[in-house]
Structure 1
Amino acid sequence: MYFFTQIFLFCSITAFVFLVIGLFKPWAMLWWEDVQNRRKVIKLYGSVGIVTYLVYWLLIWILPS
């Protein structure tokens, strides 16, 4: 289970890095969308980052090693 906790931590860090990049250049992170703006970047990468970080902490709390 240590592997899964590390995967969720890596996904949350990656999402927050993409969030920071998207705040400066939204078109770089939302190239598939018709309209790229900072609000969509915050909604997408912010929510993914928060959810994966919460899952990481839940796994740490439920499965202490």
Structure 2
Amino acid sequence: MRKLSELDNISKLPDLVLCPLDHWDLISVTGDDRITFLQGQLTCDLTSLKPGQQTLSGSM
């Protein structure tokens, strides 16, 4: 398996690419604008989460 950092140009990737997910992290964000700040940076819909609810997401 090749790493993305080994590619000369990622635009030449095939239509299907499998990537290992071997790093997991947990974040906690506070403040009045936390939802709007993170909404465009993560792959999940933060506005649909209820207080105390959690979900998996990727960063963009």
TM-score by length of structure 1 reads 0.25
Structure number with higher relative contact order (C-alpha < 8 Å, ≥ 6 residues apart): 1
Q: Output the TM-score relative to the length of structure 2.
A: 0.26
